[in-house]
Chains A and B, each alone.
Chain A
Amino acid sequence: QKEVEQDPGPLSVPEGAIVSLNCTYSNSAFQYFMWYRQYSRKGPELLMYTYSSGNKEDGRFTAQVDKSSKYISLFIRDSQPSDSATYLCAMSGNYGGSQGNLIFGKGTKLSVKP
């Protein structure tokens, strides 16, 4: 079993739909949960991050973490064509980044149709 599982999609929705993107993980030591957005032919960019369990909201985006189920979600409300991208979840323990401990999901490709 991979440490982080993410459905690659592709996922196609009409403009205005609510989008749910999900990842599951197996390592209970993960504490930081991130979502990166990657537009075509570009590098990923950090969209949101949460620490431990709970919800975090930023505009139309909501990140949820359920550590008991080892499951994280990113919700996009009122989706727009500009949200069309690949969304990668990423996770690490208490020290990520420079320790080389950030684990990425494979990414879900989202297409929002006008």
Chain B
Amino acid sequence: NAGVTQTPKFQVLKTGQSMTLQCAQDMNHNSMYWYRQDPGMGLRLIYYSASEGTTDKGEVPNGYNVSRLNKREFSLRLESAAPSQTSVYFCASSEWLSGTTNEKLFFGSGTQLSVL
């Protein structure tokens, strides 16, 4: 069972280049997320998708776009990369914690992105 799979694992971009980070989950989860993790800043939510066909902004959406391609896949696009977007990006999906109104997140292994 692969869980949440992210590609690529590493990427170096020049300022102004564009790229798409891919994410797929095989757990039949409705909700998916994109986070970035920076030293001293912790995990910050970029975008999330509560279900197929819907997306919503998180804490730090500027400079990013997302696409919920289907229930399995949720991609993150950087249209014009900037050095401030150098970070580790994590995709996650979630399921309800039994008997609660909260969810457990399952994370991928991350994409380390450097923008020069």
Interface residues of chain A, those whose CB is within 8 Å of chain B, are 6, 8, 32, 36, 41-46, 49, 51, 88, 92, 94-100, 102, 104-107
Query: By the criterion CB–CB under 8 Å, are B50 and A99 in contact?
Result: yes
Contact residues on B (Cβ < 8 Å of other chain), bracket: 20 to 34
Complex partner residue of B94 from A32, A43, A97, A106, CB under 8 angstroms? A97
Query: By the criterion CB–CB under 8 Å, are A8 and B40 in contact?
Result: yes
Query: How many residue pairs, one in A and one in B, have C-beta atoms under 8 Å apart?
Result: 70
Query: By the criterion CB–CB under 8 Å, are A106 and B42 in contact?
Result: yes
Complex partner residue of A42 from B56, B97, B102, B109, CB under 8 angstroms? B109
Query: By the criterion CB–CB under 8 Å, are B30 and A98 in contact?
Result: yes
Q: Which residues of A contact B33 (CB under 8 A)?
A: 100
Cα distance, A96 to B107, chains bound together (Å): 16
Cα distance, A12 to B30, chains bound together (Å): 39
Is B92 among interface residues, defined by CB-CB distance under 8 A? yes
Q: Which residues of B from 38 to 73 have beta carbons under 8 Å from A?
A: 40-45, 48, 50-51, 56, 58
Cα distance, A102 to B51, chains bound together (Å): 17
